[in-house]
């Protein structure tokens, strides 16, 4: 059955129990969003695909929490996303959404002009101008361009010789344009464990395009990315994703959302895709992870991104942290930091995003950790901006504990 019908058909499982609504971080902070049950399985029965009746649907942040708390298996977030794409196709996608969805474009344009771009992004009057015209909120946390890409580092890096096996690194746009050092750390951690890290040329997974309703563009990006990894997957190499949301895209979201359910190449790549922490934990379960961690006497607040939970695998980073002596870890007791990809950048959504994230920020402020760790890059931007606490990927904590930075 075509994917849309399979996703839409899952609304039959809905027994109107309201569990999804109790978890929705957006409807819990604003009455502008009537809730996932409402815009998902409930309204979908009355949508024909012609004429979208409900603009309030646009307030969904696509965090995906509703789907993984639903006890009946309704693909709520997916139904919402499809309905929203249909609505946007009808009403038109705003210029703003088209721009922020094109991370590769932004990266390619911003990187050579990093200092200028960063100045631009940090300049409040200019940001207010941007808000008026393009509707990106002037306070929204934006990453900094660093002037060189991770890909350029990778090209000049000598891979580990005499390695027992190899893995492919799916670094993602964030590592490439904004956090190449994180990519270097990931390589160091994997090499420390005897793995040769292959870093083929690769572009965007298309997720920002998909979540802004630009399905055709998203499809061409994800197909291209699939082809980048396919030769490796065919040879049995695992593909490790540095970003939970990008990893999820290859694992299942692209297939579900973009009607690529039967795409054999994507299925092959998906079968080999792991989140980087998931992979490291699996190594440990097989007894193959080096556990020569030095004591790390610090407090880390760990925030599992909502998109990580969409992997349906629990929180592997926590189990990895448990291996590090003297490390104290506090887990946040909140569903979402509010950013949800590009949602929190938008002028009309910014306040909602900040309200959604407020419990997370409060818990960080209460604990006053040395570091915040989160697998999601946009979570890191959001939490760091709101609390001032340096926010890192869990791999960086491992890197430090291995003593690889010197």
Partner 1 sequence: MSADVVVLGAGLSGLTAALRLAEGGLRTVLVAQGVGATHLAPPTIDVLGYDPELVESPAQALPAFAAAHADHPYARISPETVAASIGWFREKVPGLGYVGSLDENLLVPTAVGAAKPTAIVPEAMAASDVRAGGRFVFVGLRAFKSFYPAYLAENLCRAKLPSGATVEARGIQLSDPGQEPDVTCLEYARQFERPEFRKAVTAELLPQLQPEEKVGFPSVLGLDNHRAVWQELQDVLQRPVFEVPSLPPSVPGIRLFRALRKAFRNAGGRLVLGPTAVGAETSNGTVDALVVQASANRPTTYAAKSFVLATGGFATGAINLDSFGEVRETVLGLPVAGVPDVEALRFSPGYFEDHPMARAGLAVDEHLRPVDADGNPAFGNVYAVGAVLGGAEPWREHSGNGLAIATGFAAASEILEGAS
Partner 2 sequence: MSKLQTEVLVIGGGSTGLGVVRDAAMRGFATALVDRGDLATGTTGRFHGLLHSGGRYVVKDPKAAEECIHENRILRKIAADVIEDTGGYFLTTPIDDPEFADKFVEGCRATDVPCEEVPVAEVLRKEPRVNPGITRAFAVPDGSLDSWKMVWACARSAEAYGARILTYHQVLRLIVEGGAVKGAVVKDHRSGEEVQIDADFVVNASGAWAGQIAEMAGCEVTVFPGKGIMVAMNHRLVNTVVNRCSMPSDGDIIVPARGVAVIGTTDQKVADPDNWEITREEVQKMLSAGENLVPGFRQARALRVWGGVRPLYQEKAEADTRDVTRAHALLNHRTRDGVERFVTITGGKFCTLRLMAEETMDAVCGELGVERPCRTADEPLPDSEEKRYYWLGARVAQREETLHQDQLICECEFVPRRDLEAAMLRRPTTNLDDIRRLLRLGMGPCQGGFCIYRATGILHQLQKISSSVANRSMLDFLQERWKGVRPALYGDQLRQVRLDEWIYQGTLNVGHLPADEAQGSAREEVKT
44 binds partner 2, rule: CB under 8 A:
yes
Please, which residue, 23 or 293, has the CB nearer to partner 1? 23
* Cα angle for residues 355, 357, 359 (degrees, 5° grid): 95
Per CB under 8 A, the list member of 59, 150, 274, 321 interacting with partner 1 is 274
> In the range 127-166, which residues lie near partner 1 by CB under 8 A?
none
CA torsion angle for 205, 230, 145, 381 (degrees, to 10)? 50
For partner 1, how many residues bind (rule: CB under 8 A)?
40
CA torsion angle for 329, 251, 19, 10 (degrees, to 10)? -170
Please, which residue, 162 or 264, has the CB nearer to partner 1? 264
Please, which residue, 17 or 105, has the CB nearer to partner 1? 17
Question: What's the first-to-final CA gap in the chain, in angstroms?
Answer: 54
Query: Shortest approach of partner 2 to residue 32 CB, angstroms?
Result: 8
371 binds partner 1, rule: CB under 8 A:
no
Task: List, in sequence order, every beta strand (DSSP E) within 304-351.
Answer: 328-331
> In the range 318-357, which residues lie near partner 1 by CB under 8 A?
318-319, 331, 333
- C-alpha to C-alpha distance for 54 and 344, rounded to whole angstroms: 21
Q: Specify whether the CB–CB gap between 294 and 323 falls below 8 A.
A: no
308 binds partner 1, rule: CB under 8 A:
no
207 CB contacts (<8 Å, ≥6 apart)?
A: 218, 245, 246, 249, 253, 341
384 binds partner 2, rule: CB under 8 A:
no
β-partners of residue 238 are 167
Query: Shortest approach of partner 1 to residue 284 CB, angstroms?
Result: 10
Query: Shortest approach of partner 1 to residue 240 CB, angstroms?
Result: 12
Q: Which does 314 bind (CB under 5 to 8 A by kind): partner 2, partner 1, none?
A: partner 1
Query: Shortest approach of partner 1 to residue 336 CB, angstroms?
Result: 14
260 binds partner 1, rule: CB under 8 A:
no
**Residue 195: C-alpha distances to residues 237, 289, 395 (Å):** 11, 11, 15
Please, which residue, 44 or 217, has the CB nearer to partner 2? 44
Closest CA to 332 of 297, 356, 367, 296: 367
Query: Shortest approach of partner 2 to residue 167 CB, angstroms?
Result: 39
Per CB under 8 A, the list member of 20, 26, 47, 249 interacting with partner 2 is 47
Closest CA to 84 of 102, 64, 59: 59
43 binds partner 2, rule: CB under 8 A:
yes
Instruction: Enumerate binding residues for partner 1 (CB under 8 A).
Output: 13, 17-19, 21-23, 28, 31, 67-73, 248, 251-252, 255, 267-268, 270-274, 281, 285, 309-315, 318-319, 331, 333
């Amino acid at each position: 059955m075509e994917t849309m019908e399979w996703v839409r058909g899952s609304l039959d499982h809905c027994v109107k129990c309201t569990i999804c609504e109790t978890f929705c971080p957006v409807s819990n902070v604003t009455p502008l969003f009537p809730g996932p049950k409402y815009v998902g399985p409930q309204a979908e029965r009355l949508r024909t695909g012609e004429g979208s009746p409900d603009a309030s649907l646009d307030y969904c942040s696509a965090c995906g929490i509703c789907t993984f708390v639903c006890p009946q298996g309704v693909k709520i977030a997916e139904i919402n996303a499809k309905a929203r794409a249909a609505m946007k196709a009808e009403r038109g996608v705003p210029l703003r959404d088209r721009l922020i969805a094109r991370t590769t474009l932004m990266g390619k344009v911003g990187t050579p002009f990093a200092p200028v771009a960063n100045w631009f992004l940090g300049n409040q009057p200019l940001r207010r101008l941007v808000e008026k015209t393009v509707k990106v909120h002037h306070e929204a946390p934006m990453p900094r361009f660093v002037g060189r890409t991770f890909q350029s580092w990778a090209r000049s890096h000598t891979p580990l010789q005499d390695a027992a096996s190899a893995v492919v690194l799916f670094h993602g746009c964030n590592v490439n344009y904004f956090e190449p050092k994180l990519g270097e750390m990931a390589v160091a951690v994997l090499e420390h464990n005897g793995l040769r890290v292959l870093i083929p040329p690769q572009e965007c997974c298309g997720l920002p395009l998909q979540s802004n309703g630009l399905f055709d563009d998203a499809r061409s990006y994800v197909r291209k990315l699939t082809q980048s990894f396919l030769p490796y997957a065919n040879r049995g190499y695992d593909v490790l994703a540095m970003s939970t949301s990008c990893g999820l895209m290859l694992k299942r979201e692209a297939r579900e959302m973009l009607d690529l359910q039967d795409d054999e190449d994507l299925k092959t790549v998906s079968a080999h895709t792991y989140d980087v922490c998931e992979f490291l934990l699996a190594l440990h379960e097989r007894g193959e992870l080096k556990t020569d961690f030095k004591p790390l006497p610090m407090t880390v607040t760990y925030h599992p991104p909502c998109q990580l939970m969409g992997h349906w695998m629990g929180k592997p980073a926590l189990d990895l942290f448990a291996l590090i002596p003297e490390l104290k870890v506090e887990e946040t007791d909140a569903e979402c930091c509010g950013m949800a990809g590009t949602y929190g950048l938008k002028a009309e959504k910014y306040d909602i995003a900040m309200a959604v994230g407020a419990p997370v920020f409060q818990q960080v402020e209460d604990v006053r950790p040395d570091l915040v760790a989160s697998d999601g890059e946009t979570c890191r931007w959001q939490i760091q901006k709101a609390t001032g606490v340096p926010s890192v990927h869990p791999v960086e904590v491992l890197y430090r504990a291995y003593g690889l930075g010197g």
